């Protein structure tokens, strides 16, 4: 019976708590206490621009830093009742029950909200555990159990950071923007946390063929998805039109994500898009991605550098005119992107320029995709071996001694 009565009392107490967000900027907030717990309460108040006053005989280092930086004032003495004059809010965290009781009682008499660090049940106000992503604030109250609140907050923070919870603004943005997001080699788990956040906030997504399309399934139904994917020899949406779309939707107040495969600045024309946006005053953010030049070879056990084998690597567009002499003389790894259709020409040019025909080489198709396949050989025979198996783009070509390591490293 006693347990039931206690549970009922606890439930009633929790149900009487009214969640509220306070604007403390420029308003007097008093923190009583000079230790680490008081510091944890004071720091976010200073960040919010509170007129912060600390009352304590001595200060721990973080609180002393706030005072030194001019972000808080300090009364180096014991608490007095008149310390609450002009205060809108008080936090007490002295570690002395009698002092905290006195602060709470004075605050109650003065009609000032008081947060107690020592006894949540006796506190007139609670500080929730807070998760923040940009301008989004999620507060979690643990019903008098701060540890529980922190655990839930951490889970929410992770879900927000990874885009598993919706982040879109329902009232629209004050102004539009463009984010050039590298989606990585195609595996949805290899996009960066920041890229995933921005995708979750997007109103418009302009997506490439090699981007992680699975992530689009999580978008709201009203998010506009524009597929501008290119295949070899087939560019249905020219680059000028892609750039125009980005700018047009951003100027209409939309949050636009340009979702690319790999990294936007590694043979991804992201630089052109960023310049075009900047020139017309559209805010643009560039989010790096895991480039396929490194990740796709790694998927089959080929490191692009390896101690005693290769100290450097060069990333090359495989379908443009190249200066073969310096490439043939390179002592490092050569990584060709978008070059499978010209592989025979590439091999012959390198050999003609002096590259050893016996140099190990590899073709990795559809890295991290359902058709992932590794074909190995030497520079002399790799084109024939790739043709034998019908190698198709997308594919990454590796030329260098590291290609031979796949047999030792690949599972």
What residues act catalytically? 208, 230
Radius of gyration of the chain (CA): 30
- Contact present, 168 and 202 (Cβ < 8 Å): yes
Cα separation, 1 vs 7, whole angstroms: 10
Determine how β-strand 204-207 pairs with β-strand 313-317.
Answer: unpaired
Q: If you search the block for the tokens 């606890």, which residue do you land on?
A: 10
Determine how β-strand 333-337 pairs with β-strand 313-317.
Answer: parallel
SS (H, E, C) the chain: CHHHHHHHHHHHHHHCCCCCCCCCECCEEEEECCCHHHHHHHHHHHHCCEEEEEECCCCCHHHHHHHHCCCCEEECCCCCHHHHCCCCEEEECCCCHHHHHHHHHHHHHHCCEEEECCCHHHCCECCCEEEEECCEEEEECCCCCHHHHHHHHHHHHHHHHCCCCCCCCCCCCCCCEEEEEECECCCHHHCCHHHHHHHHHCCEEEECCCCCHHHHHHCCCCCEEEECCCECCECCCCHHHHHHHHHHHHHCCCEEEEEECECCCCCCCHHHHHHHHHHCCCCEEEECCCCHHHHHHHHCCCCCCECCCECCEEEEECCCCCCHHHHHHCCCEEEEECCHHHHHHHHHHHHHCCCCCCCEEEEEECCCCCCCEEEEEECCCHHHHHHHHCCCCCEEEEECHHHHHHHHHCC
> Cα 240 to the chain's mean position, in Å?
29
> Cα 343 to the chain's mean position, in Å?
36
């Amino acid at each position: 019976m006693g347990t039931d009565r206690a549970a009922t009392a606890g439930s009633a107490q929790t149900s009487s708590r009214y969640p509220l967000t306070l604007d403390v900027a420029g308003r007097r907030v008093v923190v009583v206490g000079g230790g680490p717990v008081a510091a944890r309460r004071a720091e976010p108040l200073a960040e919010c621009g509170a007129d912060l006053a600390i009352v304590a005989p001595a200060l721990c280092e973080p609180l002393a830093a706030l005072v030194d930086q001019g972000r808080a004032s300090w009364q180096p003495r014991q608490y007095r009742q008149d310390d609450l004059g002009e205060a809108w809010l008080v936090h007490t965290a002295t570690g002395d029950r009698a002092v905290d009781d006195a602060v709470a009682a004075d605050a109650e008499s003065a009609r000032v909200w008081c947060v107690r660090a020592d006894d949540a049940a006796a506190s007139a106000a609670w500080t929730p555990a807070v998760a923040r992503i940009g301008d989004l604030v999620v507060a979690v109250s643990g019903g008098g159990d701060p540890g529980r609140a922190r655990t839930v907050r951490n889970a929410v923070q992770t879900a927000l950071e990874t885009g598993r919870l919706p982040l879109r603004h329902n009232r629209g943005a004050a102004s539009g923007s463009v984010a050039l997001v590298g989606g990585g080699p195609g595996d949805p788990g290899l996009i960066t946390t920041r890229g995933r956040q921005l995708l979750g906030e997007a109103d418009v997504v302009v997506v490439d063929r090699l981007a992680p399309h699975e992530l689009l399934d999580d978008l709201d139904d009203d998010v506009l998805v524009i597929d501008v994917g290119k295949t070899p020899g087939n560019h249905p949406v020219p680059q000028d039109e892609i750039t125009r779309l980005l700018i047009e939707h951003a100027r209409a107040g939309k949050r636009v994500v340009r979702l690319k495969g790999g990294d936007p600045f590694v043979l991804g024309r992201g630089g052109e898009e960023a310049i075009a946006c900047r020139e017309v005053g559209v805010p643009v953010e560039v989010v790096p991605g895991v480039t396929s030049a490194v990740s796709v070879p790694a998927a089959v056990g080929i490191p692009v550098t390896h101690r005693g084998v290769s100290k450097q690597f060069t990333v090359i567009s495989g379908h443009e005119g190249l200066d073969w002499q310096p490439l043939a003389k390179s002592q490092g790894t050569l990584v060709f992107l978008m070059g499978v259709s010209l592989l025979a020409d590439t091999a012959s040019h390198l050999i003609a320029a002096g590259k050893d025909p016996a140099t190990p080489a590899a073709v990795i198709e559809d890295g991290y995709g359902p058709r992932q396949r590794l074909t190995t050989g030497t520079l002399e025979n790799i084109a024939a071996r790739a043709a034998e198996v019908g190698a198709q783009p997308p594919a990454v070509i590796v030329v260098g001694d590291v290609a031979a390591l796949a047999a030792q490293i690949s599972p």
